[in-house]
Structure 1
Amino acid sequence: MDPFDEASQAFLAWLRRSGADISNKIELKDLRNIQAGRGVAAIDKIEEDEVLFRIPRSAILSVENSILSKEIPKATFEHLGPWLSLILAMLYEYTNEGASNWAPYFNVLPSEFNTLMFWEKDELAELQASAVVQKIGKDGADEMFTTELVPVIKEFAEVFFSGDEKAKDRAEAMKEPDNLFLMHKMGSLIMAYAFDVEPANPEKDVDEEGYASEDEDEALPKGMVPMADMLNADADRNNARLFYEEEYLTMKALKPINAGDEIFNDYGPLPRSDLLRRYGYITDNYAKYDVVEIPFPLIKEIASAAGLFLEDRLEYLDEHDVIETGYDIGASDPFTLLESLSPELIVLVETLLLPSDEFRCLKNKGKLPKPGTMTAKGAELLHKLVQARIQQYSTSVDEDINAAVDEPMTGQYNSKERRYAMAKTVRISEKNILREAEQALGQLARGGGNANGASKRQAEEQETGPGKKQRAK
């Protein structure tokens, strides 16, 4: 048997021994021919709401289920937080290899990654001014691993390397590049595959589409859910969803699935830049979620040059949670300013432009400008911001599109040519969004009046204040 298939069968056998219930209508499929690794497919007709598999909570690779949680004080994990705690537990299980309960699971998880964390400098340079480059955080992660994880491993070396007389030496070596690289691999597995594991009786608020706010998701413990992470994701063909129950996590069909069809989960509304950062690939059907970010330092620079950067207003806006590190301009079809512009960005700009007496009046009432209303002066300032953001990219969208040589999107999974092509696609999308925003804002600034075409969401926000649904993390 092919080693790839052998590992798959060993994993499924382990999962069943662990108490999982897997439908005989599905199979774990080899999709390497389409660069999709493993996937799950139907081998028989599946009805809507039919259970595809049920994974007991005890089989989740989490801090709670790791032996390490019984050997290291709870306060240590609380100090590390959900992310670093799970990396620590996964390092422990991975390092103990065959002795770990999750060894068959590790054998089907990727060992190579195409995420931005593992790109070379010249490959990252192809993303140009995309804000996603600043979100990679490799240096920051290295520092966290060195200052947070390594000291814990050294303190509990005899536990972490149980039975090894060289445990202290191995713990000291964890700060070496090879082991830091291993920590990055564990972190990348978590980023790509971990779930926010809700308690048996979840109490967090979700919107009408089932997505929680980023703050609420950050507070949840994270866990690797075997089999659930074998599903590939597709924004259009999503046909399954994971449900949290008291003792199990259950994957159910959202619609009828025909024999031979692949079964897909969904990442939620992620732009392709974040797909690339977290999962190492992009796909056209997530283009509708693409965004370009206007960084706050750029806003400060442009507003200061116009004599509009006033500290008292910023403090007031900060009190109302309007100040952010960056503000999104999203894709919309057809492009509509109030559909694409971050409501917080509109509120920020309009507040900076208010005459002093109007600002004092608004402040006394504890209110903010309405995000569904944009003045001509607001459009003019936003127009300057967008033009300045365009200039941060080293090539224009036309230059990218008309390039003599077009890199292939196909080819070896982690080839330089493929990475160049994916980076080019991301930056072209961002530049197209900026160009559409520049044209629309320029027209509004010249014509005066308020922006039209507000969606139902913006109309509601005119009454409730700024707010936007958080993208999935």
Structure 2
Amino acid sequence: MASFEDASQNFLTWLTKCGAEISPKISLQDLREEHAGRGVVATQDIAEDELLFRIPRSAILCVENSILSTELPKTTFDSLGPWLSLILVMLYEYQNHGASNWSPYFDVLPTDFNTLMFWSEDELAHLQASAVVSKIGRAGADASFANDLVPVIREFADVFFSGDMHADEKAAAMSSPENMQLMHKMGSLIMAYAFDVEPAVPPTRAVDEDGYASEDEDEALPKGMVPLADMLNADADRNNARLFYEESSLSMKALAPIPAGDQIFNDYGALPRSDLLRRYGYITDNYAPYDVVEIPHALVLDTITTTAISPQLTPSAAEEREAYLSEHPGLTESGYDITRLDPSTPLAESLPELTLLTKTLLLPASEFARLASKGKLPRLEVADAQHAKLLLEIVRRRKAQYATTLEQDLSNPPAGGEGERRREQAWRVRVGEKEILRDVEAALEGVVKGFDDAAAATGEKRSGEEVENDGEEGKRRRVR
């Protein structure tokens, strides 16, 4: 088996033979001591907009470029969808390692994973009540592999294991735990490294006001493994390169001047550390500003129907309002993300969906009927003390779902070291989420106090007016 450095060099040689252009100013280096695997480093000063490398579309590991796409019916790939189709192709190329065009590429891809898919139950327990645990989806992936992928492999065993007299037996063995684990590894490679590959001639796609396509449309894009582009590590603060789509190639270019010796970084976008860990198997503190904590929809409904803060909603009234809210995107999701608070942003705008949901559920029947008749929603604001207290109770109940408090976590951090790595990563995720809940709780307590102080002041004023009126009336009585 080739050494780490030899595998890197063989990969670069192969990529060049595939027609890739690689700048002499960059180098693929061993960054394992930094827990970063391989990474791309500038060996000379690089100017803004300078080409770092250009990968021909023919070198992308995708369905279209695999010979398997010519051997299986198109309807088979259509039924599998982009994700499972690419897993199938990667399994095929991996199983035919010696004959695969991408053999040198597989030799530099990771074989060990730290993504949450590969954590034990005991390790996942350190994440406590983080919503990321429910997003791992191992059971769903197992079902998709068993019900969708394995039947295709068995149906086309003579193609999948071409020239192997034991093809049928090998296809039947794809349901084994070892092969299911292999499918998970291929899926994890795709999640961590694959790109949504825009076609050479992009179709017309609906975009929002910020220029982004919907998640559904992104999910429908073909997935592809782009050699070398996926060797760039990611950094939210130091992102200095970007992949550009061209007619016959994909080009990585510098977004800013890069001094010699600096690592070249891509960016995954504004992902919370929980999603970094789920998708890529690592976290860095400079992604902490993007942390979120999810408030489950079920927790909102349970709170509003069981707390004395709000009037009891009848099941039929709750159902009616839920049905109306479902017509407005984002208001009847399974959960609502709360981000770190920005002092310059009104509290309601920091948790817009949760604010609108709870405010609508609290509306008097007549006011809800009036708004619904116009197809409108309430104004985005914390309406009154009752509304603020309900939001506060929801946040407190969410805090209570974690096994430890923020104070306990901060006073008892993991010891560190390689054996503690996953525990430390889980600790950082849950501490970030608890910090958000602490800050939102404090902000809501301030809002509640503001409403209560205003009500008390109003009450004192009215009480004074009544005394004065009583005095005037007494004076009139005395005059008469």
Q: Structure 1 length normalisation: TM-score?
A: 0.90
| Superposed displacement of residue 73, structure 1 | 1.0
Match of 2:406 among 394, 397, 405: 397
Question: Any idea what the Cα deviations from partners look like across 1:293-315, whole Å, max 9, x if unmatched?
Answer: 00111112112214236101100
Tell me the CA shift for residue 320 of structure 1.
1.5
* 1:145 alignment partner in structure 2: 145
Tell me if structure 2 keeps the 8 A contact 1:329–1:340. Answer: no
Structure 1 or 2: larger helix share?
2
Q: Is the 8 A contact 1:407 1:418 kept in 2?
A: no
Give the equivalent residue in structure 1 for 2:270.
Answer: 269
**Residues in 1 aligned to 2:281 and 2:407: alpha-carbon distance in whole angstroms:** 26
1:245 alignment partner AA: E
- The corresponding residue for 1:197 is 197
Q: Distance between the aligned counterparts of 1:149 and 1:27, measured in 2?
A: 38
Structure 2: unaligned runs, 5 residues or longer: 453-480
Is 1:441 paired with 2:444? yes
* SS of residue paired to 1:328: strand
Q: What residue is the counterpart of 1:106 in the other structure?
A: 106
Counterparts of 2:55 and 2:208, CA distance in 1: 26
C-alpha contact (below 8 Å) 1:154/1:172 kept by paired residues:
yes
Letter in 2 for 1:127: L
Q: Which amino acid aligns with 1:423?
A: A
Tell whether the 8 Å contact from 1:407 to 1:420 is kept in structure 2 after alignment. Answer: no
Counterpart-to-counterpart distance in 1, 2:384 and 2:20: 58
Q: Is 174-183 or 364-373 further displaced after alignment?
A: 364-373
Q: Report SS of the residue matched to 1:13.
A: helix
Which region of structure 1 is more displaced relative to structure 2, 438-447 or 112-121? 438-447
Query: Which shifted more, 364-373 or 2-11?
Result: 364-373
- Whichever residue aligns with residue 317 of structure 1, its letter is L
Q: Secondary structure at the match of 2:326?
A: helix
Question: C-alpha offsets along residues 11-60 of structure 1, whole Å, 9 cap, x if unaligned?
Answer: 11111111111111111111112111100011111111111111111111
The AA in structure 2 aligned to 1:275 is L
Letter in 2 for 1:289: Y
State whether structure 2 residue 167 is matched by structure 1 residue 167: yes
Report whether the alignment pairs 1:420 with 2:420.
no
* Cα 1:320–1:276 shift into 2, 3 Å: same
Match of 1:123 in 2: 123
Could you tell me the percent identity over the aligned residues? 64
Q: Alignment length, in residue pairs?
A: 443
Task: Please name the residue that 1:345 is paired with.
Answer: 354
For residues 385 and 233 of structure 1, the distance between their equivalents in structure 2, rounded to whole angstroms, comes to 35
Contact in 2 for aligned 1:130/1:427 (Cα 8 Å): yes
Deviation at 1:291, TM superposition (A): 0.3
Any idea what SS the aligned residue of 1:134 has? helix
Gaps of 5+ in 1: 450-473
The residue that corresponds to 1:459 in the other structure is none
In the other structure, the counterpart of 2:325 is 317
Distance 2:141 2:187 in 1: 9
2:251 counterpart SS class: strand
1:319 match: secondary structure: coil
Structure 1, residues 152-172: CA drift from partner, whole Å, max 9, x if none? 111111111111111111111
Encode CA deviations 1:218-251: one digit per residue, 9 max, x unaligned: 1211111101000000000000000111111110
Identify which range, 89-98 or 377-386, moves more after superposition. Answer: 377-386
Checking the alignment, whether the CA contact within 8 Å between 2:347 and 2:443 is kept in structure 1 is: no
Residue 376 of structure 1 corresponds to which residue in structure 2?
A: 385
User: 3-state SS of the aligned residue for 1:98?
Assistant: coil
In structure 2, distance between residues paired with 1:375 and 1:18: 65
Residues 187 and 423 of structure 1: is their aligned pair in 2 closer, same or farther, counting only changes over 3 Å?
same
**Residue 225 (structure 2) aligns with:** 224
Aligned residue in 2 for 1:258: 259
Give deviations 1:399-421, integer Å, cap 9, x for gaps.
11112x6321xx43xx3x11001
Other structure's SS at 1:262 match: coil
The aligned counterpart of 1:79 is 79
2:469 maps to which residue? none
Alignment check: 8 A CA contact 1:344 1:371 kept: no
TM-score (norm 2): 0.89
Distance 1:101 1:296, change over 3 A: same
Note if contact 1:337-1:440 (Cα within 8 Å) is conserved in structure 2.
no
Whole-angstrom distance in 2 between the partners of 1:161 and 1:37 = 32
Aligned to 1:40: 40
RMSD of aligned Cα (Å): 1.9
Structure number with larger C-alpha Rg: 2
1:116–1:276 CA contact under 8 A, matched in 2:
yes
Distance in structure 2 (CA, Å) of the matches to 1:426 and 1:226:
31
Q: State the alpha-carbon separation in 2 of the partners of residues 224 and 4 from structure 1.
A: 20
